[in-house]
Amino acid sequence: MKTKLLVLILLTTPIFGRSLHPFHSSVGDCIFNPKEKVWDISIRLFQDDLAEGVSHFTGSPFSFQKTAEIDVILEKYVRKNFGFQVNQKRTTPYRWVGWEPVDDTVWIYLEIPTEHYLSGAFMENKLLADTFSDQSNLLQVVRDAQKRSYLFKDKAWVQRLD
């Protein structure tokens, strides 16, 4: 009985101060704001996963508590891994709004300054794909009563928006 309890404790205890996730994912929304005539994008990622992904990206340890210039580093990371493809060329036609820590997650905020529909555009969402082989990124695009969800994952990091 003590052995089973010890194994259970070891399996559920964070290793090196980090909790383990059974899978790696992000969730986001891309919602048209008719008053401002912009598309507001918000993406939620687990803080420890994002820190590991940014460390991998920069080649140096990254910490939300200790790293300087977090805003600059996060923007570079997001621009490398989240964007659009026009004529098979990658572009990032959005404005960086910022980020916000909430409990054990980080929210990334962007906006696309256009009132045009995004239908027909190709979106790329490879956030954390270089770090976690099981990474998946769910994004819901909403305008008026139209809602469409897109699941970005292995071999489907770029998708055509309807």
Helix (H, G, I), strand (E, B) or coil at 24: coil
The span from the CA of 28 to the CA of 151, in Å, is 10
Sketch the domain layout of the chain as residue ranges.
25-160
**Helix/strand number for the chain, H first, E second:** 3, 10
pLDDT at 137: 97
Does residue 9 carry a pLDDT above 60?
no
pLDDT at 5: 37
pLDDT, tens digit (0-9, with 9 covering 90-100), for 56-95: 999 999 999 888 899 999 999 999 999 988 776 777 789 9
φ, ψ of residue 158 in degrees (nearest 5): -120, 130
* Of 33, 49, 31, nearest in space to 137 by CA: 49
Q: Residue 161 contacts by C-beta under 8 Å, 6 or more apart in sequence? A: 118, 119, 120, 121, 122, 123, 141, 148, 150
Instruction: Please give the distance of CA 91 from its chain centroid, rounded to a whole number.
Output: 17
Residue-wise burial string across 20-52, b where 16 or more C-beta atoms lie within 10 A, e elsewhere: eeeebbbebbbebeeeeebbbbbbbbbebbbbb
Confidence of residue 39 (pLDDT cuts 50, 70, 90): very high
Angle (nearest 5°) at CA 47 between 43 and 135: 65
Higher pLDDT, 3 or 156: 156
The pTM (predicted TM-score) of the whole model is 0.83
